[in-house]
Amino acid sequence: MRNICIFASGGGTNAEAIIQFFSDKPLVNVCLIVSSRKDAYVLKRAENHHIPSLVLDRSAFRETENLLETLKEHAVDLIVLAGFMWLVPTYLVAAYPNKIVNIHPALLPKYGGKGMYGSHVHEAVISAGEKKSGITIHYVNEHYDEGAIIVQATCEVTPEDTPESLAEKIHQLEHQHFPRVIEGVILR
């Protein structure tokens, strides 16, 4: 059995897609949900699926390595960032080399980095007149959105697109590709 821990900061739609995808796969288990916000809906999703959860304290996350003990207790093999907004500290990247995966709602290396999340990304893509956007699934390193790319998937950006309509196209790509890519990473 391989164990996944999902880090999320918001509603958790990607977390839900991942949980559902692995619900009937006996070799992989979502064993823990970690959130940066105590009011994040992803915590309700964890409760609904009877998955233990943890809310991080920002200073403890950055300044101590206490989280490593919790991850060890849950025998975490892979950490999946699914809408997690904090930079992952060096100690965690070092403890899980090429075992932390993130999804970004644009085609990196463009439109990545600090502050490039949610509607900010889609507004930037549309403002730049891009004809394509998409998702980038990548390994995490010590910098925002700079880890090695695993997979990218694209969608068309039309002149009629708004940040909201582009976000919907991106969500469809995320839910279609992210769980399968995670499966490939964790089972290889």
Of 104, 122, 138, 177, the catalytic one is: 104
The answer to whether residue 50 is catalytic is no
Alpha carbons 57 and 180: distance in angstroms, whole number: 31
The bridge status of strand 149-156 relative to strand 78-81 is: unpaired
In a 3-state reduction of DSSP, which class is residue 167? Answer: helix
Are 77 and 59 within 8 A, CB to CB?
A: no
Alpha carbons 89 and 144: distance in angstroms, whole number: 11
Residues serving a catalytic function are 104
